[in-house]
Amino acid sequence: MSTLIQLVLSGILIGSVYALMSIGLTLIFGVLRIVNFAHGEFLMIAMYGAWAFSNLFGLNPYMAATAIVPAMFLFGAVVYWLVISPALDKPHLVVVFATMALSIFLQNAALMAMTADLRDIPPIFNRSITIGSIFLKVELLLGFLITILCTVGLQWMIKKTYLGKAIRATVQDGEAAMLMGIPVPRIFLITFAGGSALVGLAACVMVPLFSVFPSVGLNFVLIAFVIVVLGGMGSIEGALLGGICVGVMQSLSGYYIAPAFGQMFFFVLFLLVMIFRPNGLLGQKGAAMIGMNE
């Protein structure tokens, strides 16, 4: 029984880290209604940044987040200005191919600059927290707490602040929001840059857990897409729930069947949810067309 509890808790913790990576993606989709296929490469760049801070300045990745998050916000703003904004009034496929091209470019640029070598940082915490027969890795526990704080903070921002209300108004009717004096293009810019900053935060949480290499984003972006659709398109709390479901499924199937089949089982879960609940676990009907959930 203790093994099952250990597996479920480990799955919840790793799933929350996956969810943190996915929240930026669902925020961008919820407002701009575009899927950023370069999301994984944004994660890769931020992970290299956290690795560099750790190796060059001796800062642990959590301290490096104070620099990585603003840097990724600026990087996201530049990408929006150069790549996304010119394609927004074009057919949807233009944005899709633009972000795919950006993904390939960033991955190859990283391969040329950093080679294909795996980069790691030294362990930050050398012990786990022990509760009876249960062991909790400190880095995963920190990731879980950061994800919960981000989810609650984002929900509060969207529901209570002027910026959040402007974002919701833009999602509901962009033209009406513009007539009411809301700077819709600026809201788009802030949302895209904010989603990029969130993936920067996720990278700082993930660097102590995973190696960094040029194609690391591909390993995680597919999981992020599954989580976003599983939780409900545009739903921030749905991304958290979807991430936890994926993490638990991966943990249980990896132990009881084989680690190599971990991804297969959460894709089976994904297919079952899509068949019986096409809008996702916490999604609203039509959210894929309308945008962020209320």
Task: Reduce the DSSP state of residue 129 to 3 states and report it.
Answer: strand
Work out the pLDDT band at 282, boundaries 50, 70, 90.
confident
SS3 string of 226-289?
HHHHHHCCCCHHHHHHHHHHHHHHHHHHHHHCCHHHHHHHHHHHHHHHHHHCCCCCCCCCCHHH
pLDDT per position as a tens digit, 170-219 = 888 878 888 888 888 899 999 999 999 999 999 999 999 999 999 998 88
**Lowest pLDDT segment from 28-37, 108-117, 196-205, 279-288:** 279-288
What whole-number distance in Å separates Cα of residue 147 and Cα of residue 154?
A: 10
β strands within the chain, DSSP E: 128-131, 134-137
pLDDT in the model for residue 285? 65
Full-prediction pTM beyond 0.75? yes
Average pLDDT value for the chain: 86
17-33 exposure pattern, b = at least 16 Cβ within 10 A, e = fewer: bbbbbbbbbbbbbbbbb
Q: Average pLDDT, stretch 114-121?
A: 88
pLDDT in the model for residue 194? 92
Q: Is the pLDDT of residue 267 over 60?
A: yes
What whole-number distance in Å separates Cα of residue 38 and Cα of residue 202?
A: 15
Q: Is the pLDDT of residue 144 over 90?
A: yes
Of 109 and 33, more confident = 109
Residues in Cβ contact with 14 at an 8 Å cutoff, skipping those fewer than 6 apart: 140, 247, 250, 251
**271: which strand partners?**
none
Determine contact, residues 19/263, Cβ cutoff 8 Å.
no
Q: Is the pLDDT of residue 131 over 90?
A: no
What whole-number distance in Å separates Cα of residue 195 and Cα of residue 228?
A: 13
